[in-house]
């Protein structure tokens, strides 16, 4: 397969305004920013199966601004890739605004990652440590607002919650006051990994906000998405691993349909998805529909042609 290339096509569908979606009164279904996974080919796939809004993987703003190579490898889009939010990891207002200006013609908005709990991100001043730095978040949002004058260009944040929820509500209200378009809330603290998601906390945050709020955390089916939407009173739900396992989830499928698998093969081949990514996505998609022995065989395949032969032999075209 060909490697990813920079394909900057100006978004022609600005009419698909996320803000208008959030005020529609219906559930807005969002594909989360996933490192390595939520790239153009996967976004194209989930859009075919009722996903309303997609995020890019998290991109380090400093590298993106300083390196053409980083821009070419990290950000690929096309005309059908709308509406699109580009998520940045940043700790510097000027660099973030520079990155926002670069992507502005090709996306509907940017999102500041204030929720990643990984140690490397926290050590660099990115991710979840920003929920404890509201002044820095304020400066970054203000700088982007000052530098990007495109009407409708959104600036959002994705956060985790504090142990003391009052601090999170205060952070969100301050973010709203400085012009954040919406807030995505992952209902765990930075220290929590597999503990139950605090949907009650997301509900409290939503009740204290006027701007849209998206709920995030452990949503694995359309039914669960609808339940979380109802429980929290939010304007949308964001899904990560649930979509990896079943990209057709938002269309109501309980497991990945065969048509979706073949759609992935077609899209990945057309867009030149690297082999490792192509194969890994299929392993996720086929987790529930293959036996243990079939998994061992399929996971050991080492070429695109071998995968296509396997799928043709076992599932037909």
How many whole angstroms separate alpha carbon 33 and alpha carbon 276?
A: 19
Q: Strands 154-160, 183-186: parallel, antiparallel or unpaired by DSSP?
A: parallel
- The verdict on whether 116 is a catalytic residue reads yes
How many whole angstroms separate alpha carbon 65 and alpha carbon 50?
A: 33
Catalytic residue among 116, 129, 172, 260: 116
How many whole angstroms separate alpha carbon 270 and alpha carbon 4?
A: 11
Output the six-digit token pair for 311: 């799928």
Helix, strand, coil in percent for the chain, rounding step 5: 50, 15, 40
Element (H, E) at 11: none
Output the six-digit token pair for 268: 């990945």
- Give, as one character, the DSSP assignment of residue 234: -
Among all residues, which ones are annotated catalytic? 116
């Amino acid at each position: 397969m060909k490697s990813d290339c920079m394909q900057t096509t100006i978004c022609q569908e600005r009419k698909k305004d996320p803000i208008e979606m959030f005020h529609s009164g219906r559930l807005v279904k969002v594909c989360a920013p996933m490192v390595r996974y939520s790239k153009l080919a996967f976004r194209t796939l989930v859009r075919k199966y009722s996903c309303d809004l997609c995020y890019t993987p998290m991109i380090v703003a400093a590298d993106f601004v300083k390196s053409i190579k980083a821009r070419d490898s990290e950000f690929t889009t096309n005309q059908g890739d709308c509406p699109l939010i580009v998520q940045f990891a940043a700790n510097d207002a000027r660099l973030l605004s520079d990155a926002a200006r670069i992507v502005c013609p090709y996306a509907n908005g940017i999102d500041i990652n204030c929720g990643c709990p990984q140690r490397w991100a926290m050590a660099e001043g990115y991710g979840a440590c920003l929920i404890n730095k509201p002044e820095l978040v304020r400066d970054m949002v203000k700088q982007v607002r000052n530098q990007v004058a495109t009407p409708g260009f959104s600036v959002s944040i994705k956060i985790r919650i504090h142990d003391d929820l009052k601090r999170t509500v205060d952070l969100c209200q301050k973010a709203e006051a400085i012009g954040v378009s919406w807030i995505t809330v992952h209902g765990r603290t930075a220290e929590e990994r597999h503990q139950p998601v605090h949907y009650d906390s997301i509900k409290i945050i939503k009740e204290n906000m006027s701007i849209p709020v998206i709920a995030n955390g452990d949503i694995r089916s359309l039914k669960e998405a609808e339940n979380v939407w109802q429980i929290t009173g939010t304007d949308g739900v964001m899904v990560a691993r649930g979509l990896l396992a079943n990209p057709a989830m938002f269309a109501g499928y309980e497991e990945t349909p065969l048509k979706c698998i073949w759609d992935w093969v077609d899209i990945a081949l057309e867009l030149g998805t690297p082999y490792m990514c192509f194969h890994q996505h299929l392993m996720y998609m086929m987790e529930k529909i293959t036996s243990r022995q079939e998994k061992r065989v399929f996971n050991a395949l080492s070429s695109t042609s071998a995968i296509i032969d396997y799928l043709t032999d076992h599932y037909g075209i």
